[in-house]
Amino acid sequence: MSTSSSNPRRRAIKHIIAGSLAIGTTPAFAGSVSSKRGEESNYNMKGNINHSVCRWCYGSISLEEFCASVKKLGINAIDLIGPKDWPVLQKYGIYSSMCNGAEINLEDGWNHTEFHPQLIKNYSEMIPLVAKAGYKQLICFSGSRRNLDNETGWKNCADGLKQVIGIAEKYKVTLVMELLNSKIDHKDYQCDRTAWGVELAKRIGSENFKLLYDIYHMQIDEGDVIRTIKEYHPYISHYHTGGVPGRREINETQELYYPAIMKAIIDIGFKGYVAQEFIPTPKDAQGQIASLEAAVKICDV
C-alpha cells in the first residue's frame, strides 16, 4: 500500500457518517457460490481455504462488475466493504468477510485517547449494523505512534477497546486489528509486529478481539511467516496476501512461496477467510480479474 493520502485503500476505508450507516440492514447471504456451466469458472475449488478478495485493489472496476466477476471465479466473499455497498454484495450472494467504516483512518487510532470519543461512537453504532446484516468481523487500527512507547500504546488501545468490546460480545461481532508494516507503507504505525498485537489481545481478554495477519506487511517487518502463524494462530482471525516486494502478484516474481503458507494455515485448523490483497499489474479489467484468478489458484491448496 502507498503511504500517500490518495491511496485507494485509504479512500475506501474512510469513516462513513452515521446517516449512511442505516443502509446495510438486509440479512446477508453467506453461502458458497455454486458452479454453473457458462456462468462460473471451470476451476473447482478444493474447499480447504475460504477465499476472499479486497475491494480496494480493483477500484477501476465498478462494484457491480467486480461482484459478477468474483462470483464467476467461485469466490464467495469480499473484504473491506462498508454498509452502503452491502446491498450490492447481497444481490450477488457475496459475503462481507471483513467490514469497515467505523475507523477514522489508519493513523488516528485507538492508541491515542483523544480519538476515543469518536471511535467509541463509531464502533458502538457500527457493530449492531454488522450483526444485523449477518456479518461477523469489523476492522480496527492501532494508529500511528506519534512518539508513544509500547506500554502507553497498549494501555490506551486496551482502555478504549474495552469500552466497546462488550457491545461486540453482545452482537457476536469480532473486532479485528490489522498488523501493518511501519518500514515501507505505514511509517510510525504502532501495531507493526505480531507480538505487539498478541500482547494487546491478552490485555483485552476477549474472544471478540483478534488480529488480521497481513502476510505482505509482516514479511516486511518481521519475516518468519510460517512459524509466527503456527505460534500465534489462536489470536488471528483473518489473513491478507500480497507479493513482496511491491504488493504485486503472489506468483514466482516475488519472494514468498504462498502454497507453503496456505498449507500452514490449513494445518492449524483455520476456518476463516484468506483475502487476496495485491495490486494487479494489468491495467485492464479483464487482465486484473485473470491475475486474481491466478492468485486464488496458487492459494487453493
Ranges of each domain in the chain: 8-299
| Residue 178, pLDDT score | 98
Closest to 108 in 3D by CA, of 36, 194, 15: 15
Angle subtended at Cα 207 by Cα 185 and Cα 167, rounded to the nearest 5 degrees: 90
Q: Which grid cell sits at 294?
A: 491466478
pLDDT over 50 (residue 288): yes
Q: How far apart are CA 49 and CA 139, in angstroms?
A: 21
Q: Which helix (H) or strand (E) holds 80?
A: strand 77-81
pLDDT over 70 (residue 228): yes
Percent of the chain with pLDDT over 70: 86
For 128-139, b/e burial (b = at least 16 CB within 10 A) is ebbbebbbbbbb
The rounded radius of gyration (Å) of the Cα atoms in the chain is 18
First to last CA, the chain: 26
| Residues in Cβ contact with 121 at an 8 Å cutoff, skipping those fewer than 6 apart | none
- Residues in a beta bridge with 273: 50, 238
Q: How far apart are CA 82 and CA 4, in angstroms?
A: 22
**pLDDT (mean) for 228-241:** 98
- 50, 66 Cβ separation under 8 angstroms: no
CATH class of domain segment(s) 8-299: alpha beta
| Residues in Cβ contact with 298 at an 8 Å cutoff, skipping those fewer than 6 apart | 250, 251, 258, 259
3: burial class by Cβ within 10 Å (0-12, 13-18, 19+)?
middle
| Residue 43, pLDDT score | 78
pLDDT band at 3 (very low <50, low <70, confident <90, very high): very low
pLDDT over 90 (residue 71): yes
| Residue 41, pLDDT score | 59
- 76, 107 Cβ separation under 8 angstroms: no
pLDDT band at 42 (very low <50, low <70, confident <90, very high): low
pLDDT over 70 (residue 39): no
| Residue 32, pLDDT score | 32
**pLDDT (mean) for 176-193:** 98
Average pLDDT, the chain: 89
| Residues in Cβ contact with 184 at an 8 Å cutoff, skipping those fewer than 6 apart | 220
Q: Which helix (H) or strand (E) holds 174?
A: strand 174-178
